[in-house]
Amino acid sequence: MSSFSIDTAKAWMQAYAQVLEENKEYLTELDSAIGDADHGTNMARGMNAAVEPANLDQPDLATLFKKVGLALVSKVGGTAGPLYGTFFMRAAKETGDAGSLDAAGLSRVLHAGLQGVLDRGKAELQDKTMVDAMTPALEAFDAVAATGLTAAATAAGKAARAGAEATTPLLARKGRASYLGERSVGHQDPGATSSAYLFETLAKVVS
C-alpha cells in the first residue's frame, strides 16, 4: 500500500475495535494484577462507540481521528480515555486537510499522537505504560519508512508487541500500578498491550 486513505483509517479503527472486543477479558486480567481491573472493558466500550456510524462515517482523516478521540475521552474511564483520546486528537490536528498520507506523513501524525500522550501522561520509557509500546513502534516505523508504508507499519506492529512484553519485569513508575511498588514487577502492562494492538491492527490493514 502506497498511501493511507480515509478508507484505510476506517478499516484500522474497525480492526482495533474488534481486537479490543476479542481481548477485553485478557486486558482486564492484566489490569486486575496492577490496576483497577477495567482496562479491557473500558477500551472495548470506547472503541465500539468510536466506530459507530456517527463517529466513523467521516469524509476526511482529521475529522475521523477527532471523532474517535472524543469518543474515547467520553466513554473510557480512568487515565486510558484521556490518553488515547489525546493521541487521536493530536493526530487529527497534525493531519490537517491532508486527503491521504504516505509513510512520512503518517509518521508525523503518529508522532504527534505520541507527543500528546507524553504531554498529558508525563510518562517516560520504562515507566511501565503505553509509552513503552508506542515509542519503539514509531522508532521501528521510521527506521524503514523509506521502503514504504506496509514495511513501516509491519515493523511498528512487531516493535509495539515486543515493547509491551518488555514491560513485564519493569517497576511501574506512573499510573495506578505505581502504587504497588515492587508488586508491579512481573506483570505485563495493560496499557502497553492495548497500544500493541493499535499498531498490530495498523500493520494488518495496510498489508
Contact 109/101 with Cβ under 8 angstroms?
A: yes
Report domain extents, the chain.
Answer: 4-206
Whose cell is 491532508? That residue is 98
Backbone phi, then psi, for 197, in 5-degree steps? -60, -35
- The string of pLDDT tens digits covering residues 19-75 is 999 999 999 999 898 788 899 999 999 999 999 999 999 999 999 999 999 999 999
* Whether the Cβ atoms of residue 47 and residue 10 lie closer than 8 Å to each other: no
**What band does 164 get if pLDDT is binned at 50, 70 and 90?**
very high
The domain 4-206 is classified under which CATH number: 1.10.150.130, 3.40.50.300, 1.20.1560.10, 1.25.40.340?
1.25.40.340
The three grid cell numbers given for residue 204, joined into one nine-digit string = 494488518
**What cell numbers appear for 49 in the block?**
462507540
- pTM > 0.85: yes or no: yes
